[in-house]
Structure 1
Amino acid sequence: MKTRRSSLDVFAQLGSLRRYARSLTRNDADAEDLVQDALVRAYERRSGFRSGGNLRGWLLSILHNTFIDRVRSARAEQQRMDAAAQLADASMEAPQEHSARLAQVRENFLALPEEQRAAIHLVAIEGLAYQEAADALGIPVGTLMSRLGRARAALREMEENPSSRPGHLRIVGGTS
């Protein structure tokens, strides 16, 4: 039985493809990956090859274009990474005074009784309407409003009279 020989004898061109890929990438492993990717592209586009055309030139052209696509992709990725790094550099931790102040606010909030803390959390942090917060807690709206009033008054007292709370931290030179 006679075997049919493909008009695309790619195996005969592997040496040229590998040499050219090594000259482009300057790395054996990257060159092999490049050749493989180029051969996959050539296979996918095999219908575009003109019968009787220059197979070697066609394959080398595909290899070259594959390399250029990789370079562009790497450059674009580097630009994205640089932009992300600039954003990361632009953001900075809050100055020590702000961090200490935030810790004080958190400490005051956590010092509230549980029912007041829950009420103020739902309304002030979660943004629920009074009726929604009351429903979530299973209490009448009037009770919710009473708890909110007591919680706000307690927080104001802690702010105005810091010595009334244990473990008070006073910021020297800043606003207390």
Structure 2
Amino acid sequence: MTNRPGLNNEIVEAMPHVRRFAYSLTRNAADADDLVQTVIERVLDRGVPDDVELKKWMFRVCRNLWIDGLRAAKTRMDAVPELKDQPADTLSSEKVAADQMMMAKTRQAIDELPDAYREVMTVVGLGGASYKEAAAMLDTPIGTIMSRLGRARAMVAERTGYHD
């Protein structure tokens, strides 16, 4: 792994994409920003393999760091059981217009997807990556990407009540 020439420019170009991905994983702007900062630090400290595209590498690092964070949080939750009973923030559907309610319902449905499906939905559906790009970013066979995306879309449609 090396710090190749032009790495800083490549990082700047990849940042918006990595941030969107980080936000889809964390579902919180501040946490996404922290995750992106950690990804950048990791890339600058450890470099990038010579034969990989930086953006794909940053997605992989981001995903791995997020998973590590989830594992650490689960360990903390298991150590302090009373934290499990704290209520989560919810959206008030009475105070938003119909289109905002549908958007909130869709966002919630995506957030409730299992991690593997949400990752694919984010990378392809929201991030605009092709199946081939998503397969490389997530280190998953292209057929699995296509299958997960189809299932993710079906789950979101079922949960929102929006069917073709």
Q: TM-score with structure 1 length normalisation?
A: 0.41
Bigger relative contact order, structure 1 or 2 (CA pairs below 8 A, ≥6 apart): 2
Q: TM-score, normalised by structure 2?
A: 0.44
Computing the radius of gyration over CA atoms, which structure comes out larger, 1 or 2?
Answer: 1
